[in-house]
Amino acid sequence: MLFALLICTAERIAAEEVGRQVQLEVFVNDNPTQLIAGFVLLNNKHIAARRQELEEIGLNPRGYASPDQLVALDELPGLAYRYDEPGQRIFITAPDELRVTKEYKVSGKPQESLPVQSDYGSVLNYSLFSSADSRPSARSFALNGASATLDARAFTPYGTFSQSGILRASLNDRFEALRLNSTLTYSDHESLTTYRAGDAINSGLAWTRPIRMGGFQVQRNFGLRPDLITLPLPAAEGSAAVPSTADVYINNIKAFSQEIGTGPYRLSNLPAVAGSGNALVVLRDASGRETATSLPFYASANLLAPGLFDYSVEAGLPRLSYGTSSDTYVTKPIASGSLRYGISDWLTFAGHFETGAGLINGSSGIAARTGSFGVASFAVAASQYQNATGFQTYLSYETKLWNVNVSASSQLPSVPTTTSRR
């Protein structure tokens, strides 16, 4: 009890040395914030507040790290204030640079995902086909053959096993059974990761050549979250002098309406479709006065939203002559991997590697949005096999002209150079 009393006394003495604490109603740029904040009246007749308190009333005192650090209002450039002592109010005038930008997500907050449920079961998909020749002279039909394409799956809480194949019969061959893919798959919805054992197609980018293989694969699967938007969406920024309503039009179609408070604002995740378009933000205040801002944009699936990470890693044996009676696996193991990372709204990094059977191949590239016109991609690859070294460059550009999507690419390999060894 005595220890707690000593602490309270020390805090009171420290507060008296700094100044007197008051609770004031806050007005920012002559607009009521409907908030009461704590301020400190310093001994030099200036006013200060803690950084966290200033952020709660919409101010952004840059350069102060600790949330409990005391900030003198006179030290903030461009800020002015007036203290109304009888009314216990403070009127603050601050530029947009010192105000917290309020962000409104147009797409809305996704609903909480329901817990994933799994059970035991099976399914069989099939497709039957047969053909025959008509012979008018003999007034009969000659059967050429028949086939059945089957796709069977058995699912459990521990994974899904799938098996596909073709059964066919012809006049020359009595019966033939071809195995296509045999795969055991398990997906983790929390980490958006899919694990695959068996037949698969290795990862690849625009400048690589995926192959079929049998082995193990681990990859990011955004398809497990249909509500997740992976491409960066456009955003609109501005400032409202008075409380207003913002109406957003995408390609002249109203898509969103939001109440906007005073100060700087940011409308993020505008619902845009892939390709070029135009977003129109109409700001309307209580008196009916309107301010329109046009925002051309370009959205592309080749870009990842900032912070998103996409990857795939696999290892196994290459598969040749898929879907034929000569189907086989090469007994030389290979490994490969691909990754993409969204650095910013306009820049995405990509990389790829391959190794096996004496070959080492690596490449890296970027995809960058060129304003509202399109997306440019560039990549460089290098490989080495035995004593030969090769290089490759890749360049592409996608845009939209007169409502037509246009894409052009160039993939140029260099002549391999041979290194002689003595």
What pLDDT score was predicted for residue 283?
85
| Residue 241 lies inside a defined structural domain of this protein | yes
* Residue 27: CATH number of its domain: 3.10.20.410
The answer on pLDDT for 7 being more than 80 is no
What pLDDT score was predicted for residue 173?
65
Do 85 and 135 lie in a common domain? no
Residue 225: pLDDT band by 50, 70, 90 thresholds? confident
What pLDDT score was predicted for residue 16?
43
Last residue of a domain, one of 283, 299, 315: 299
Do 248 and 284 lie in a common domain? yes
Do 153 and 182 lie in a common domain? yes
Share of the chain above pLDDT 90, in %: 28
What pLDDT score was predicted for residue 200?
93
Q: What distance in Å separates the CA atoms of residue 71 and residue 53, rounded to the nearest whole number?
A: 10
What pLDDT score was predicted for residue 419?
59
Do 7 and 95 lie in a common domain? yes
Pull the structure tokens for residue 311: 């990857």
Across 253-258, average pLDDT: 80
Across 386-414, average pLDDT: 87
Do 65 and 136 lie in a common domain? no
Do 132 and 88 lie in a common domain? no
Structural domain harbouring 284: 232-299
Last residue of a domain, one of 271, 299, 327: 299
| Residue 132 lies inside a defined structural domain of this protein | yes
pLDDT in tens, 229-250: 888 888 878 888 778 888 888 8
The answer on pLDDT for 393 being more than 70 is yes
Low-confidence winner among 13-22, 80-89, 277-286 (lowest mean pLDDT): 13-22
| Residue 214 lies inside a defined structural domain of this protein | no
Residue 311: pLDDT band by 50, 70, 90 thresholds? very high
Residue 266: pLDDT band by 50, 70, 90 thresholds? confident
The answer on pLDDT for 12 being more than 60 is no
| Residue 361 lies inside a defined structural domain of this protein | no
Residue 4: pLDDT band by 50, 70, 90 thresholds? very low
What pLDDT score was predicted for residue 136?
61
* Residue 288: CATH number of its domain: 2.60.40.3110
| Residue scoring higher pLDDT (250 or 415) | 250
| Residue 291 lies inside a defined structural domain of this protein | yes
What pLDDT score was predicted for residue 5?
37
Task: State the DSSP H helix or E strand holding residue 159, giving kind and residue range, or none if neither.
Answer: strand 159-170
| Residue 6 lies inside a defined structural domain of this protein | yes
Structural domain total, the chain: 3
Do 93 and 129 lie in a common domain? no
Do 142 and 90 lie in a common domain? no
| Residue 390 lies inside a defined structural domain of this protein | no
What pLDDT score was predicted for residue 13?
37
What pLDDT score was predicted for residue 238?
80
Do 18 and 91 lie in a common domain? yes
Q: Provide the strand spans (E) within 16-120.
A: 19-28, 31-42, 47-50, 70-72, 80-84, 89-93, 102-105
The answer on pLDDT for 163 being more than 90 is yes
Last residue of a domain, one of 277, 299, 321: 299
What pLDDT score was predicted for residue 377?
94
Do 21 and 79 lie in a common domain? yes
Helix (H, G, I), strand (E, B) or coil at 157: coil
Do 87 and 145 lie in a common domain? no
pLDDT in tens, 52-106: 888 888 888 876 667 778 888 888 888 888 888 888 888 988 888 888 888 777 7
Residues with Cβ within 8 Å of 208's Cβ and at least 6 positions away in sequence, in order, are 338, 352, 354, 363, 381
Q: What distance in Å separates the CA atoms of residue 306 and residue 311, rounded to the nearest whole number?
A: 15
The answer on pLDDT for 418 being more than 70 is no
What pLDDT score was predicted for residue 422?
47
What's the whole-number average pLDDT of the chain?
A: 83
Across 269-289, average pLDDT: 80
What pLDDT score was predicted for residue 420?
53
| C-alpha torsion angle, residues 229, 232, 233, 234 (rounded to 10) | 170
Return the number of other C-beta atoms located less than 10 Å from residue 283's C-beta. Answer: 21
Across 374-382, average pLDDT: 93
Q: What distance in Å separates the CA atoms of residue 128 and residue 3, rounded to the nearest whole number?
A: 87
What pLDDT score was predicted for residue 160?
94
| Residue 9 lies inside a defined structural domain of this protein | yes
| Residue scoring higher pLDDT (238 or 40) | 40
Do 137 and 85 lie in a common domain? no
